[in-house]
Amino acid sequence: MGQVNCVVIAGAGIGGLCAALALAKQGVRVVVCEQAASLGEVGAGLQISPNALKVLRQLGLESELSQFVFKPQHAAIRDYKTGEYYLKSPLGKQAEARYGAPYWHLHRADLHQVLAAACAKAGVELVLNAVVIGYRENTELKQVCLLLEDGREFCADLLIGADGIRSKVREQMLGQECPIFMGQVAWRGVIPVSDLTVDVKPDACVWAGPGRHFVSYYLRGGDYVNFVAVEERSDWRSESWREEGDVEELKRAFADWHPEVSELIKSASSTFLWALNGRDELPTWHKGRVVLLGDACHPMLPFMAQGAAMAIEDGYILAKCLSNYALSDALLKYEQVRKPRATKIQQMSKANAGLYHMHGGVFGRMKLKALQAAGRFAPSVIQSKLDAVYGHDVTKN
């Protein structure tokens, strides 16, 4: 190891636990501090694309996770009214053959549970009720200490800030700055298939419409349908970034959409409403003995379904750099490798918002029609854009 024997991580989300597991497998002592009283994830789905699955495979989790997955057959974009397909790109066995790993749908809670169990087995120490207030570096002792609200301190060779978009670690490193509200909110929920009154296609499907879009896909072997309904809003008045959503308001917002959408929503009994926030590109991801990963340094709109995937890649590459280089060089190399890719996918996600929401009226619809034509007559053009995302393999590069 390059001068790192002990690491403390702020945040036990997917990115933090992936980093913890990758480091523990290299023989590093890892302590993860999580502010929640118990481990768990709010009920929602995740799209695990081949680039992320290659990391989970390398970490030894593929077999354990496979019992929870649903394998979609296509990635689709459809019209909110007519149901017309603007895009229908093959996933399933074709994607697996092309990218060397399948495309999965997973419940967040299932991935989180498997990751946490693997971390415990690898010797990672998990500390709950650990509310972070900041950190202190000691250059003489060559260590950094994570400071908790209750007065506890956890000292190590390196601190990883994996504590999300409102990261306390990032705040101390780069200054206090509120996340930027991106002018959109997202309702999220999971519905048992037994409650549905409509047939839902076995695809990762985006329904595009003026000023809003709807995403649906199956989870847990097809027993549940996950949905994400995004609507543009001029403001977000709540102080919370996530709150209980009003199901009736959601039903009204999508009442005149295609029956596959409106009928699906009618079966929803509860939902969470999330503010979609972002940040400008940070000047740096590391300083001294402190480094950031995931939403703490590159939060992104969920319109490429790559938020979790990027955090998973971050954790693996950071551990790899720390095993190959001295600390300062490792952190520099990590940022050099990860920042261009994360920034590019941030930009792609933001651009998709305009596409899915038909920005520009008639012109917006023309862009979708152009996508439709490309899918029919030049599918390699569309495939090449996805290749750069899904074909990436951090376990080999």
Q: Which residues are catalytic?
A: 217
Cα 256 from Cα 377, distance rounded (Å): 32
From CA 91, how far away is CA 203, in angstroms rounded? 9
Structural tokens at position 309: 């995937």
Tell me the three state secondary structure of residue 71. coil
Region class of 72: left (phi > 0), else alpha (psi between -120 and 50), else beta:
beta
Helix or strand run (H / E) with residue 65: helix 62-66
For residue 31, what are the β-bridge partners? 8, 125
Q: Taking the CB of residue 188, how many other CB atoms lie within 10 A of it? A: 22
CA separation for the pair 317, 311 (Å, rounded): 10
Strand stretches in the chain, DSSP E: 6-10, 29-33, 45-48, 74-79, 85-90, 104-107, 125-127, 132-138, 143-148, 153-156, 158-161, 180-192, 204-209, 212-219, 224-232, 242-244, 272-278, 286-287, 290-292
What is the per-residue DSSP string for 215-284?
EEEEEGGGTEEEEEEEEE-S----SSSEEE--HHHHHHHTTTS-HHHHHHHHT----EEEEEEE-PPPS-
3-class secondary structure, 85 = strand
CA–CA distances in Å: residue 326 to residues 68, 289, 293, 333: 39, 12, 19, 10
